[in-house]
Amino acid sequence: MNLLSIFKFLVRDNIARRYFVMNSFDGALTILGVMIALWLSSVTETKLVIVSCLGAGIAMLVSGIYGAYAAEKAERVRELKELERHMMTDLDETKIGEKFEQLSVLIALVDGLSPLLVSLILIVPFVLSQFNLISLGYAFAVSFLLVAAILFFLGTFVGKISGENSLKSGAKMVSAGIVVSIIFFALEMLRVV
């Protein structure tokens, strides 16, 4: 199982597409929250931003893989048992049983890798800042723009799948990032953060 097979699966399978969109969206908003919190805290150490965002991405990777695998495995086992009951035979050691297991693993990988990929994309400006190629302030600005771009891409992807207006769908996703930002700035004004 390689990245190409995961990508092909993602394109074909509606459950995998849902997991990809949901968890990429979660990853983008989580990293946005981490970045805003660090920015509002006047962080001056680029490494702290990288480690914090990467830590959140790794936590989402592990959570996604374990959580999705457990949930998908349970669903696939239930489906397999029902199929076995109708066919009155054990299907565990058959191609059907193997396929059900493969689906559980692939969906778990899509679930876990999606937010990690988003996290890695969003820390690229901070890596550039770590090597003194851009300033930390500029890295924050670029990362905030990348969050908006990723959210917009996810929205247009959802719009395309549903056959609805892709631009409108993209704008809706971006609005979620705006809401997160507004909440953080409101908390900052109230001196909660």
Residue 131 lies in a domain: yes
Q: Which two tokens stand for residue 126?
A: 């901070």
Q: Which pLDDT belongs to residue 5?
A: 65
Residue 9 lies in a domain: yes
Mean pLDDT (the chain, rounded): 89
Residue 191 lies in a domain: no
Share of the chain above pLDDT 70, in %: 88
Residue 161 lies in a domain: yes
Residue 193 lies in a domain: no
Residue 192 lies in a domain: no
Q: Total structural domains in the chain?
A: 1
Residue 86 lies in a domain: yes
Q: Which pLDDT belongs to residue 16?
A: 82
Domain that holds residue 99: 3-185
Q: Which pLDDT belongs to residue 3?
A: 62
Q: What confidence tens digit (pLDDT) does each residue in 137-177 have?
A: 999 999 999 999 999 999 999 998 889 999 999 999 999 99
Residue 142 lies in a domain: yes
Concatenated DSSP letters of 64-113: HHHHHHHHHHHHHHHHHHHHHHHHTS--TTSHHHHHHHHHHHHHHHHHHH
Q: Which two tokens stand for residue 74?
A: 């349970």
Q: What confidence tens digit (pLDDT) does each residue in 36-81 have?
A: 999 999 999 999 999 999 999 999 999 999 998 898 888 777 876 7
8 A C-beta contact, residue 112 and residue 59: no
Q: What confidence tens digit (pLDDT) does each residue in 74-131 have?
A: 877 787 677 767 777 765 666 766 777 788 888 899 999 999 999 999 999 999 999 9
Q: Which pLDDT belongs to residue 10?
A: 59
